[in-house]
A and B are shown apart, each in its own frame.
Chain A
Amino acid sequence: QPVLTQPPSASGTPGQTVSVSCSGGSSNIGSNTVNWYQQRPGAAPKLLIYSNDQRPSGVPDRFSGSKSGTSASLAISGLQSEDEADYYCAAWDDTLNGPHVIFGGGTKLTVL
């Protein structure tokens, strides 16, 4: 079962920069783009970063994404209290068996 591995938690103080990693393999991140979602408590997920490093309209430039090899990373600079949320990475997986879209397990970001 292909998986994307994220740290379960991350934290930072207001104004800091925090990063969330997403590790995969050659059949997913290594050969497809990565997308990131933010899910605030009680809300539906929201697209945060697409195609590895692109921000949809309306997403602050404090959020940035990158990809290298079979890993991706989400960085949040100038951390704000409203950034406290769960963050998920996602990628298409080319493995013949198993799910064709996979999500990371999610990272719960706490703003101290």
Chain B
Amino acid sequence: EVQLVESGGGLIQPGRSLRLSCAASGFTFDDYAMHWVRQRPGKGLEWVSLISWNSAYIDYADSVKGRFTIWKDSAKNSLYLQMSSLRPDDTALYYCVKGCTLGGSGGSCYSNWGQGTLVTVS
């Protein structure tokens, strides 16, 4: 069974940094693209960042480019999101999601979602 467990969220002051983690299990971590998707309170879904299966392709939404960094540690089957210069509008539930396609580099198909970790910037 695929499991994605996020951690690292919390209350943080504007301008500070925070690192989110996602522990993955139940699938071959290196075979799939991984993404972060966020949801502001009471709002819709917003794609944040992606890393391809082999880490060769990385991309960010304009709203976080230059402030957030995504990477993964294959030895630990973990995905990370380093968030810097946090702003109040970064307040959201951050989901770790697994791409659908074996060997995928992007796309909008997400077969599995974690339960999310809440980041509050205030």
Are B62 and A92 touching (Cβ within 8 A)? no
Are B113 and A44 touching (Cβ within 8 A)? yes
Count of residues in A whose CB is under 8 Å from the partner chain: 28
- Give the contacting residue for A102; candidates B47, B109, B114; CB below 8 A: B47
Are B107 and A92 touching (Cβ within 8 A)? yes
B59 at the A interface (CB under 8 A): yes
A90→B108 CA distance, assembly (Å): 6
Contact count band on B:
20 to 34
Chain A contact residues: helix, strand, loop or mixed? strand
Query: Which residues 97-117 of B have a CB within 8 angstroms of A?
Result: 100, 106-116
- Give the contacting residue for B106; candidates A50, A56, A98, A100; CB below 8 A: A100
Are A88 and B44 touching (Cβ within 8 A)? yes
Given the known A-B contacts A44-B116, A100-B59, are A35 and B47 also in contact in the complex, defined by CB atoms under 8 Å? no
Which residues of A come within 8 Å of B, CB atoms?
A: 32-35, 37, 39, 44-47, 50-51, 56, 86, 88, 90-92, 97-106
Which residues of B come within 8 Å of A, CB atoms?
A: 35, 44-47, 50, 59, 61-63, 95, 100, 106-116
